[in-house]
Structure 1
Amino acid sequence: MGIAIDKDVCIGAGQCALAAPGVFTQDDDGFSALLPGRADGDGDPMLGEAVRACPVGAITVTQA
């Protein structure tokens, strides 16, 4: 599984970090970022909720 954040689309709402704090954080500029070592989501049960919570659809999850 892979997680990608489209930095050109992200508006820094932070909903992903609120929904799945074990996977997402916000960088120094306030935009979404993956926590180190969490690029695959590692089975976090809240990952899907974080994707749905993004108001601009900047997060994509792919199955490997």
Structure 2
Amino acid sequence: MPYFFESYRGEVPDRPRRHEAMLARCRDLLAFTTGWSDEGVQLWHDRIATTTGWTAA
């Protein structure tokens, strides 16, 4: 992961902030899919549930 974090070229956001950004993106994609594809809606609900369950190791 060090190479990944080097791409920030500055302060690396803490884990809770990165986790919330992941969830926000999932919610954005859920909103995009709503009204367009029932399968897509379910997919993003599943991904939100999965991402919510991630904990720091």
What TM-score do the two structures reach when normalised by structure 1?
Answer: 0.26
**Bigger radius of gyration, 1 or 2?**
2
Q: Where is the strand percentage greater, Structure 1 or Structure 2? A: 1
Q: Where is the helix percentage greater, Structure 1 or Structure 2? A: 2
| Structure ranking higher on relative contact order (CA contacts 8 Å, 6+ apart) | 1
What TM-score do the two structures reach when normalised by structure 2?
Answer: 0.28
